[in-house]
Structure 1
Amino acid sequence: MTTTLHPAAAGGFTAGAGTYARGRPDYPPALLDWLRAALRLGAGTTVLDLGSGTGKLLPHLVGTGARVIAVEPVRAMLDQLAAGHPEVEARPGRAEAIPFPDGGADAVACAQSFHWFATPAALAEIRRVLRPGGRLGLVWNVRDEGVPWVAALTAIMAPHAGDAPRYHAQAWRSVFPAAGFGPLEERVFRYGHAGPPERVIVDRVLSVSFIAALPEAERARVAGQVRALIARTPDLAGRAEVTFPYRTTAFRCERTA
């Protein structure tokens, strides 16, 4: 989501918007309290969900009572968002050109997205739309690779990653400390995404940008490898419902005057 969208984002999120909506987890209930306290969201405040995707964070943002505006550059994702969350105002836009006035937002939230646009230019634009004292929140659901089968999923995906930006690479941290922002503060929550393995594991893998952007035959081969892993893992094989373990990491910093 830089000046030109990375091919993995432009292609993968266009082709895989439906899979993303099905396979990606929501967020733990405890995150609602974090949004209220850490980002100071509530009635009478305005928050931008930047890089909103299909709107996975939107129920939590709406639950704070704040006015919520979703901003997303990929049309297929924006269409999924609008269909699933008609109560939220959705706007096309990028992190480097946010369609919002100077100082008009009390908070900007980026869920599963900041690593795509972690640049000084994007942070300057986020600072522009935040009022002094407004807060930036960064949230990721991170696969718990301390669980062996989750680590095995990563090994299946890793050969296809190329140069796609990822949370795990931690390159996004290089833009901090950032001019006009205070220090980052971090919280971690445990979370489990429960459901049929085809949805919470297979669709989850297929929703990864660089997997969704693969040619159909290669994508099918990855899906086959994931299903084979499920079949040979005692905790997963033959189960109607499984739980995919995550750590939800949440960061916040404040726009200085």
Structure 2
Amino acid sequence: MDSTPAIHRAAADGYAKGADTYVRGRPDYPPEIDAWLHETLGLTAGSTVLDLGAGTGKFTPRLLATGARVIAVEPVAAMLAKLAATQPGVRTMVGKAEAIPLPDASVDVVVCAQAFHWFATAEALTEIHRVLKPGGRLALVWNMRDARVPWVARMDSIVNEFEGDAPRYYTGAWRKAFPHPGFGAMDERHYANHHTGSPEDVILNRVRSTSFISALPPQKQALVDERLRALIAAEPELRDQAVVTVPYDTAAYCLARLD
């Protein structure tokens, strides 16, 4: 029997239902990430990188652009199918962070983009340590809406009301998994980012792509949509605009395997 932890119900249900919306609603990453992948993580042609919790592959093209060989592991089959369809050169595998289907010391870098908060446990870190080569890197990346902007904070409050017990990056609970044996100190970087497009995509579809929102019953999803549309109508920066910009902060963390 599989003794690894089950996928959180918000991820299993929400992401399976909302894979298409995830593709449309999620922001890209800032250009500074490309230099970080090369200079901090050391990714080059000849490297092997594991995209762990890869989802639909939103971050995967950044990894491919380094020239590295990319392996994508994701527990939600519907999301992995989207990645496989758009990135046929990537080796894809269904799997969990607590039971990675790869040999010991087989990858140079493990990247968790928008994912680590789902499996921020000692068990997952021990498994990540196992598949990393000595001297390899663990990288954690998140795009977070910049709630210092008042209307963004109001948008977040609508979303957060429905989070229940779903793990979230913004709470900082994921940090409790560190320090962990075999990993060095955490290097932390932040980059300004933004998501520009129609309000339907960068606000409504972005929120709909949130796991626990996608898992809501239809009447509650409609309520969230209604409240977001009211926010758009009340905010001068958003009202009657065909194209809007949501500000983001991209956080990038790196830890080295020490032994």
Normalised by the length of structure 2, the TM-score is 0.97
In the TM superposition, what is the alpha-carbon distance from 1:85 to its structure 2 partner? 1.6
Residue 137 of structure 1: SS of its match in structure 2?
strand
Aligned length: 256
Amino acid at match of 2:246: F
Residue by residue over 1:36-66, the C-alpha shift from the partner in whole angstroms, topping out at 9 and shown as x without a partner, is 1111100110000000011111111011110
Show the counterpart of 2:133.
Answer: 131
1:57 to 59, 62, 78: 59
Once the two structures are superposed, the pairs formed by residues 1-257 of structure 1 within 5 Å of their partners are 3-257=5-259
Separation in structure 1 between the aligned mates of residue 247 and residue 230 of structure 2, nearest angstrom:
19
Where does structure 1 lack aligned partners over 5 or more consecutive residues?
none
Separation in structure 1 between the aligned mates of residue 149 and residue 161 of structure 2, nearest angstrom:
20
Residue by residue over 1:68-87, the C-alpha shift from the partner in whole angstroms, topping out at 9 and shown as x without a partner, is 11110001111111122222
In the TM superposition, what is the alpha-carbon distance from 1:30 to its structure 2 partner? 1.0
Separation in structure 2 between the aligned mates of residue 62 and residue 142 of structure 1, nearest angstrom:
23
Amino acid at match of 1:160: F
Amino acid at match of 2:232: I
Separation in structure 1 between the aligned mates of residue 133 and residue 90 of structure 2, nearest angstrom:
21
Residue 54 of structure 2: SS of its match in structure 1?
coil
Separation in structure 2 between the aligned mates of residue 3 and residue 83 of structure 1, nearest angstrom:
28
Identity of matched residues, %: 57
Amino acid at match of 2:46: G
Residue by residue over 1:206-237, the C-alpha shift from the partner in whole angstroms, topping out at 9 and shown as x without a partner, is 11111111001110110111111111111011
In the TM superposition, what is the alpha-carbon distance from 1:90 to its structure 2 partner? 1.1
Residue 182 of structure 1: SS of its match in structure 2?
coil
Amino acid at match of 1:221: L
Amino acid at match of 2:40: A
Residue 43 of structure 2: SS of its match in structure 1?
coil
Residue 161 of structure 2: SS of its match in structure 1?
helix
Separation in structure 1 between the aligned mates of residue 239 and residue 137 of structure 2, nearest angstrom:
44
Residue by residue over 1:104-124, the C-alpha shift from the partner in whole angstroms, topping out at 9 and shown as x without a partner, is 100000000000000000000
Separation in structure 2 between the aligned mates of residue 69 and residue 220 of structure 1, nearest angstrom:
37
Amino acid at match of 1:142: M
Amino acid at match of 2:181: A
Amino acid at match of 2:190: V
Across the aligned residues of Structure 1 and Structure 2, the Cα RMSD in angstroms comes to 0.8
Residue 13 of structure 2: SS of its match in structure 1?
helix
Residue 141 of structure 1: SS of its match in structure 2?
strand
Amino acid at match of 1:189: Y
Q: 4+ runs of 1 displaced by more than 3 Å?
A: none
Separation in structure 1 between the aligned mates of residue 226 and residue 19 of structure 2, nearest angstrom:
20
Residue 237 of structure 2: SS of its match in structure 1?
coil
In the TM superposition, what is the alpha-carbon distance from 1:157 to its structure 2 partner? 1.2
Separation in structure 2 between the aligned mates of residue 137 and residue 173 of structure 1, nearest angstrom:
13
Amino acid at match of 2:104: D
Separation in structure 2 between the aligned mates of residue 15 and residue 153 of structure 1, nearest angstrom:
22
